[in-house]
Chain A
Amino acid sequence: MISPARALLDLPPFGLSQAHKQSRLLPMLRALTEHHAERCSPYRNVLNGVFGGAHRLRVDRLEDVPFLPVTLFKTHVLSSVPESEVLKVLTSSGTTGQQPSRVFLDAETASVQSAVLVKVAQHFLGKERLPMVILDHPGVVRDRGSRSARGAGILGMAQFGHRPFYALREDMSLDEEGLRAYLQQADGRRVLLFGFTFMVWQYLVQSLERAGRRLDLPGGVLVHSGGWKKLQEAAVDPRTFRERVQAATGVERVINFYGMVEQVGGVYFENPIHHLHAPIYSEVIVRDPVTLEPLPDGAPGLLQVLSCLPTSYPGHSLLTEDLGVIRGVDPEGTGMGGRCFEVLGRVPKAELRGCSDTFAARA
């Protein structure tokens, strides 16, 4: 199957109003649902067992599109293409010790994925490949066999930079000397920085602040992703984070990024009013975590993400374990159509204590 997203590749990635976008996405997601129901038997089983039958589904709104819990990719093989057509398997594990998710990409899905990522990233970063500083150590992407989600995320972003420089040493200390040398070579060009939110904070911002030094990166952009939990614990809100990053590095923009390996095409960058913004290929729905009823804008709940990209595996509609809230629709002043939202954190893990843990070790 040709990915429905191809039909949107000629449009600007935020170039449809919410109403228009929904009317484009609805038939695509309907077609993807049918496509995966035919080709992926665990997915078909779920439609039959949970959603009342693959052939009796009525999908009149995006909210009607059946979904899978994102963690199902950790426990089940969910693929809609023959093994011979699998080009690559993306893996990630949210936390150590868990089974990793496995996401099967064929040539079509992989190629649309990178096309969409480029389109969305270019909207925020421009077309030029910028000198890039990665706030991590090079070892994190070295070992292909056991690549972590962190490594995969870095490689995904690294394609937007030119000759990236890894600014941390293996012990997570900032290689300030090497960094300054790299920046000197960049010779005043705009620089792209990328790192995980907490690492940016701890190993770049705090490290520079402690040393009483700052970088000078006018026009620079920091893209950061990853959970806020540790920063919340340190009582650092997004605004404080931005201001302190800007003070320590001189970058012009700080852009948060949200996405997950389980859903290609679900790439959410922070818009100019500081909310994550759904591009035309994807949609975000907030549901009551217990009843699963879709919630109105402004009400916090469980995030469901939709994408018209994946044809090789049934990841077009996923219920995440992240809590979030819709913050706006076609927001004024951004020039961007569609919904924007905020991620509020992760649903707390169920601490179900087994019958067998008088002495059982807990992770």
Chain B
Amino acid sequence: MTAEPRTPLSETPPWHAVADRVRILAPAQDPVGLAAFLDATRDAHAEPFAAARMDTLARLSAALLADPVLRRDPASVSVAYWLRRAQLARLAEEQARRAAAEPDVLRVPVGRVLHLAPSNVDTLFVYSWALAYLCGNASVVRLSQESGVVVEALLRVIGSVASEDSELRTSNRFVTYGHDDAITAALSAWCAHRVIWGGDEAVAAIRPLPLPSHASERVFGSKYSFAVIDAARYRAAPEDERARVASGFFNDLFWFDQMACSSPHVVFWIGAPEAAESAARDFERALQGEIGRRRFQPPVASAVQRRTYAFGLAASADVRVVLEHPGFVGVHLRDRSALDKDVCGGGLFRHLPIARLSEVLAFVDEGDQTLTHWGLDRDALREFAALAGARGLDRLVPIGQALAFDVVWDGFHLVDDMLRRVRVQGA
């Protein structure tokens, strides 16, 4: 890594004026202020997938798993697993394979990445940042001012790993600040790539702020997700398989209070209405069984909120609300007319019977992200995804995988976003 500026700064960069309004959350106790950090990293870069950086992330993985708060938070455990050496090695191998297919392309880091993290999914900033780091970039990660205990713990661990790792320390800042376009604009002037982790409001607010002419940007708007299950197959499935489906759906539903872009809000049941209804009832019983098995205690506030929401749905339309399961609320719809994409969260989902998978197409639009499924064939899913085409859907994954992070996100390869491709042709 080099950090000597090749050219002197011709004028005072814009971030000098705002740096004192930004609070650095990690790394802690670094004497170099934010302005000096931003100056110094203008020319910093490292090799993509460098061994030292993979080591650092693997150390971070171990430290996350050792943290008493994080090891009890399944989403944080997932981050830690994703940062394990074996997983990173797989990522590096995949990258090497892709590179081999293009022998005259050299991949170099984009340089400086500004990440604007969402506040609904605590762990997402770690993935975004880790990919940028792995690809050899310097990063500024802006976090919400109202971070919870999980984010605090994640930052504490990152900070402690950074205290013994000068490369991590000198190339990254995790920061927070209030609603201040001037600061975002100044940081945008620094970056070569800006990532706005949604949703729509944030994208609308930040996207107009200019970027340097050569910078790129990736934005993630609000997304909507749902599940599809084959009712006949589900009814025929043995008890232990249904328990597995329930366990997977539990994770999909309850992580991040059902407020992640990938959290399902509808279960479409393929089958005749009676079969669909009966399968849906069985599914709810199995889910409540899973809740009991895990001794999951839903927050009282969520229980009250989703119940009130369900009463509102019942007051307005012909639906059946099942309140018998304390862990969640199932709202059974008779037809599509009562279905909209309004989001409740906190453990409420709608059931809708459909005759065939293609009926879902009418419901799909560009704001849709993840279809989780059970009992559907791969060919049928591929055909469905192709038919949905430009209209929507970014992922079709088995139930239980809704919140699994993937380097391909919302249709884009995030590693590609963090690298620049240099065509090198010999004589």
By a beta-carbon cutoff of 8 Å, the part of chain A in contact with chain B is: 42-43, 45-46, 48-50, 68-69, 71-72, 75-76, 78, 289-292, 302, 321, 347-362
What is the interface of chain A mostly: helix, strand, loop, or mixed? loop
Please tell me if the beta carbons of B198 and A348 are within 8 angstroms of each other in the complex.
no
Given the complex, which residues of A lie within 8 Å of B313, measured CB to CB? 49
Closest A-B pairs by Cβ, 6 of them: A356-B199, A358-B202, A49-B314, A350-B305, A42-B315, A355-B199
Q: Does B259 sit at the interface, judged by CB under 8 A?
A: yes
Please tell me if the beta carbons of A351 and B317 are within 8 angstroms of each other in the complex.
no
Q: Report 13 cross-chain contacts, Cβ distance below 8 Å, ordered by A residue.
A: A42-B316, A49-B320, A69-B307, A72-B312, A291-B326, A347-B300, A353-B119, A353-B257, A354-B259, A355-B222, A357-B118, A358-B118, A358-B198
Partner of B311, one of A46, A289, A347, A362: A46
Give the residue name and chain of the B residue nearest to A302 (CB): B304
Please tell me if the beta carbons of B205 and A359 are within 8 angstroms of each other in the complex.
yes
Given the complex, which residues of A lie within 8 Å of B323, measured CB to CB? 50, 292
In the complex, what distance in Å separates the CA atom of A354 from the CA atom of B198? 10
- Closest-CB distance, B366 to chain A (whole angstroms): 15
Given the complex, which residues of A lie within 8 Å of B202, measured CB to CB? 356-360
- Closest-CB distance, A196 to chain B (whole angstroms): 24
Give the residue name and chain of the A residue nearest to B200 (CB): A356
Q: Does B388 sit at the interface, judged by CB under 8 A?
A: no
Given the complex, which residues of B lie within 8 Å of A290, measured CB to CB? 298, 300, 303, 326
Given the complex, which residues of B lie within 8 Å of A354, measured CB to CB? 120, 199, 222, 259, 343, 345
Given the complex, which residues of A lie within 8 Å of B307, measured CB to CB? 69, 292
Q: Given the interface contacts A357-B202, A359-B205, does A352 sit within 8 Å of B311 by beta carbon? A: no
In the complex, what distance in Å separates the CA atom of A362 from the CA atom of B206? 17
Contacts of B72-128 to chain A: CB distance below 8 A: 116-120
| Interface residue total, chain B, C-beta cutoff 8 A | 52
Q: Does B308 sit at the interface, judged by CB under 8 A?
A: yes
Give the residue name and chain of the B residue nearest to A49 (CB): B314
In the complex, what distance in Å separates the CA atom of A352 from the CA atom of B348? 12
Please tell me if the beta carbons of A347 and B301 are within 8 angstroms of each other in the complex.
yes
In the complex, what distance in Å separates the CA atom of A273 from the CA atom of B356? 65
Given the complex, which residues of A lie within 8 Å of B175, measured CB to CB? none
Please tell me if the beta carbons of B260 and A355 are within 8 angstroms of each other in the complex.
yes
Give the residue name and chain of the A residue nearest to B344 (CB): A352
Please tell me if the beta carbons of A355 and B300 are within 8 angstroms of each other in the complex.
no
- Closest-CB distance, B113 to chain A (whole angstroms): 16
Q: Does B389 sit at the interface, judged by CB under 8 A?
A: no
Give the residue name and chain of the B residue nearest to A289 (CB): B300
In the complex, what distance in Å separates the CA atom of A359 from the CA atom of B142? 10
Given the complex, which residues of B lie within 8 Å of A45, measured CB to CB? 314-318
Q: Does B419 sit at the interface, judged by CB under 8 A?
A: no
Given the complex, which residues of A lie within 8 Å of B343, measured CB to CB? 354-355
Q: Does B53 sit at the interface, judged by CB under 8 A?
A: no
Please tell me if the beta carbons of B302 and A289 are within 8 angstroms of each other in the complex.
no
Q: Does B261 sit at the interface, judged by CB under 8 A?
A: yes
Partner of B312, one of A75, A348, A361: A75
In the complex, what distance in Å separates the CA atom of A71 from the CA atom of B308? 7
In the complex, what distance in Å separates the CA atom of A50 from the CA atom of B202? 37
Please tell me if the beta carbons of A350 and B304 are within 8 angstroms of each other in the complex.
yes
